[in-house]
């Protein structure tokens, strides 16, 4: 068995520079490893790396470990860590940036539904300006495994019988304006190094 050891060769100085250049993230250098981010995280028990470990791996430049971690996809943006951090490290915002970079560089398990949800969500909002929940869920199920639909039948019926299921495609009036606006805002510079 290969021991789980990282060496200098596994580090990416570029990644370390990138992560510490995110807004507010220069404070990662001041992390004193108190572990409050991990202790307060409601998802901590399910993570491969704790938030504290992830921040540490990031500032040292261990790109593959950080972007390949399950942790970034477990984060629900509840902001508990951000509020607790005595060094004011914006942990949740860093998690967002890591998700964006992982999606851009396509380093995540192909069938992990979370990035698929994000992409389908974006497509629907970009096209129509609003989310139609039933359609979004169906698209997600189609893309991540139709077998999962069977487990959702009962839940779907509950929504139908309580009048909460709608197949209407919600749309804003000024779709053209929305498209022009999203075009005009340009691309993020943060992911390119």
Partner 1 sequence: MKKLAYYPGCSLSGTGRAYDESLRAVFAALGEPLEELDDWNCCGATSYMSIDKGKAYALASRNLALAEREDADLLTPCNACYLVLEKTRRHLAESAEMGGRVRHALDAVGLGYAGVVRARHPLEVLTQDIGVERLKEAVKEPLKGLKIAPYYGCQIVRPYATFDDQYHPQTMDQLLKATGAKVVEYPFKTRCCGASQTGTLPEVGLHLVYRLLNEAKARGADVLAVICSLCHFNLDVYQSKVRREYDLEPIPILYFSQILGLALGVPAKKLGIDRCVVSATPVLERRAAHAA
| One residue of 19, 99, 108, 139 binding partner 1 per CB under 8 A | 99
**Which contacts qualify for 137-141: CB closer than 8 Å, 24 or more apart?**
140/113, 140/116
Count CB neighbours of 57 within 10 A: 23
Task: State the nearest-atom distance from the C-beta of 158 to partner 1, in Å.
Answer: 5
**DSSP, res 188:** -
- DSSP three-state, residue 36: helix
CA gap 51, 66 in Å, rounded: 10
| Of residues 11, 1, 4, 19, the one with CA closest to residue 191 | 19
Binding status of residue 154 toward partner 1 by CB under 8 A: yes
Tokens of 44: 């901590």
Binding status of residue 181 toward partner 1 by CB under 8 A: yes
| Of residues 125, 127, 105, 129, the one with CA closest to residue 117 | 125
Tokens of 52: 């504290």
Binding status of residue 139 toward partner 1 by CB under 8 A: no
| One residue of 17, 34, 42, 169 binding partner 1 per CB under 8 A | 42
Binding status of residue 114 toward partner 1 by CB under 8 A: yes
Backbone dihedral region for residue 60 (phi beyond 0: left; psi -120 to 50: alpha; all else: beta)? alpha
Binding status of residue 174 toward partner 1 by CB under 8 A: yes
Task: State the nearest-atom distance from the C-beta of 5 to partner 1, in Å.
Answer: 29
The smaller minimum CB distance to partner 1, of residues 60 and 72, is found at 72
Stretch that binds partner 1, among 2-10, 25-33, 57-65, 117-125 (CB under 8 A): 117-125
Binding status of residue 127 toward partner 1 by CB under 8 A: no
Could you tell me how many residues of this chain bind partner 1 (CB under 8 A)?
A: 61
Residues within the interface to partner 1 (CB under 8 A)? 23, 42-43, 46, 74, 76-80, 82-83, 92, 96, 99-100, 103, 112-115, 117-119, 121-122, 125-126, 129-134, 137, 140, 154-155, 158-159, 162-166, 170, 172-174, 177-178, 180-188, 190
């Amino acid at each position: 068995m290969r021991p789980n050891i990282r060496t200098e060769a596994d580090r990416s100085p570029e990644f370390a520079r990138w992560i510490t250049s995110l807004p507010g993230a220069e404070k990662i250098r001041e992390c004193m490893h108190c572990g409050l981010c991990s202790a307060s995280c409601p998802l901590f028990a399910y993570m491969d790396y704790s938030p504290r470990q992830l921040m540490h791996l990031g500032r040292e430049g261990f790109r593959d470990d950080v972007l390949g971690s399950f942790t970034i996809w477990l984060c629900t943006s509840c902001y508990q860590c951000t509020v607790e951090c005595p060094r004011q490290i914006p942990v949740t915002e860093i998690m967002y940036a890591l998700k964006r970079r992982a999606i851009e560089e396509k380093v995540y398990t192909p069938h992990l539904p979370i990035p698929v949800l994000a992409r389908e969500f974006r497509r629907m909002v970009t096209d129509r300006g609003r989310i139609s929940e039933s359609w979004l869920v169906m698209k997600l199920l189609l893309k991540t495994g139709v077998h999962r639909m069977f487990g959702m039948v009962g839940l779907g019926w509950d929504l139908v019988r309580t009048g909460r299921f709608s197949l209407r495609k919600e749309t804003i009036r000024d779709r053209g304006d929305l498209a022009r606006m999203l075009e005009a805002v340009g691309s993020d510079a943060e992911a390119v190094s």
